[in-house]
Amino acid sequence: MNNRDFRVGLTGDFVDADGKVRYGNIRLDLLDDAPGVKWNFLDGDLDEISPATASEYDALVVLEPRVTRHTFSGSGSGSGSGSGDSRLSIVSRFGVGYDSVDLDACTDSGVIVSITPDASRRPVSTVALMLLLATGHKLLIKDRMTRDNRWDLRGQHMGVGVTGRTLGIVGLGNIGRDLAKLVVPLEMKIIAADPYVDASVADELGVELVGLDELMTRADFVVVTAALTEGTRGLIGAAELAAMKPTAFLINVARGPIVDQIALTAALSSGALAGAGLDVFEKEPPDPDDPILKLDNVTLGPHGLTWTDEAFRRVGETAIRSVLDVAAGKLPPVIVNRAVAESPELLNRLAGYGEAAN
């Protein structure tokens, strides 16, 4: 490596103990082929990106480790300017959730936070649809019944058909909107709660915007696709669950802490709620003796139901192309902390990369 190299680090959780990429083809070939770019995996399964790492790399592609204010506290030995010794210009989150990244700290240090909404949308919306159909049709109960040769029990576990039923989407963003489009042929009534979405967006999708309270009472299937923020933490608690019909199902493909899991477990155990489909939990992984794992009326995934060859290839390509935009002195297409585009520190670095690339 020389000083002009654009250095890219990928967090160590992309590889297994043998150094093999865990997730198939994530388009690392794009990094291999980019002139002036040197890349490597960071060591180990880090909990948090350290100041030393921020001082060594121009770009980080980040899976799970957190990026905090401490990341930019500058105890590293790099040559970057500005806050501390950081030379970092972009944190490219592999996915769309960025609750693990301190946006203000990144903005203050002139660091872009980019995500991959176009690539993540379909893998998550299809999982939401899969869980909706699987819970409604009691797929897991009937799978077990079949394996146990208990065909006599078929009549005791009637499914819930979706035609004409009401789907309630909590969070009509990237994924929520895609779900609304996917279910059109199913002829469901679609309602959504999202205090920040423009009414015209809902209108165009044929979705009725309602308040959360109304959604919880009316929906036969509630699907949570909101981002986790301080405003959505615990958004669906005991009172909201109690408002649901006893025949209704709750699907959460967003983030566990949006739903009060203890209250959900109680509602599922008492029959106050028909069932749930969860790809996410308040604590991940849940404790082995967590009672939610023992219930028959839940269909569960290890925050990995969306993991497909398509998802990793497309997310990888998008995350890496954002990094390569920066290496060429350009802003990537999707920036979460938009104010960073005004940062003189960042603009200086981008100009430097642009010169090096030309």
Ligand X SMILES: NC(=O)c1ccc[n+]([C@@H]2O[C@H](COP(=O)([O-])OP(=O)(O)OC[C@H]3O[C@@H](n4cnc5c(N)ncnc54)[C@H](O)[C@@H]3O)[C@@H](O)[C@H]2O)c1
Interface with ligand X (CB under 6 A): 95-97, 117, 120, 124, 170-176, 193-197, 225-229, 231-232, 235, 253-255, 279-280, 303, 306
The catalytic position among 303, 310, 317, 321 is: 303
- At its nearest, how many Å lie between ligand X and the CB of residue 342? 22
- At its nearest, how many Å lie between ligand X and the CB of residue 155? 34
Residue pair 78/85 in contact (Cβ under 8 Å)? The answer is: yes
Is 147 one of the annotated active-site residues of the chain?
A: no
Residue nearest to ligand X (CB): 173
Is 137 one of the annotated active-site residues of the chain?
A: no
The catalytic position among 284, 338, 342, 355 is: 284
Token code pair at residue 160: 């819930």
Is 157 one of the annotated active-site residues of the chain?
A: no
Looking at beta carbons only, is 129 or 227 nearer to ligand X?
Answer: 227
259: DSSP letter:
B
Neighbouring residues of 33: CB distance < 8 A, sequence distance ≥ 6 = none
Neighbouring residues of 149: CB distance < 8 A, sequence distance ≥ 6 = none
Name the residue with tokens 């880090």: 46
- At its nearest, how many Å lie between ligand X and the CB of residue 78? 31
The catalytic position among 121, 255, 314, 349 is: 255
Looking at beta carbons only, is 97 or 159 nearer to ligand X?
Answer: 97
Q: Which of 49, 102, 101 is nearest to 76 (CA)?
A: 49
Label residues 327-345 b or e (16+ Cβ within 10 Å = b).
bbbebbebbbbeebeebeb
Amino acid at 307: W
CA dist., res. 297 & res. 292, Å (int) = 9
Residue pair 23/312 in contact (Cβ under 8 Å)? The answer is: yes
Helix H or strand E segment including 221: strand 221-224
- At its nearest, how many Å lie between ligand X and the CB of residue 276? 14
Residue pair 10/39 in contact (Cβ under 8 Å)? The answer is: yes
Looking at beta carbons only, is 138 or 177 nearer to ligand X?
Answer: 177
- At its nearest, how many Å lie between ligand X and the CB of residue 183? 15
Looking at beta carbons only, is 151 or 196 nearer to ligand X?
Answer: 196
Neighbouring residues of 294: CB distance < 8 A, sequence distance ≥ 6 = none
Looking at beta carbons only, is 11 or 50 nearer to ligand X?
Answer: 11
Q: Which residues are catalytic?
A: 255, 284, 303
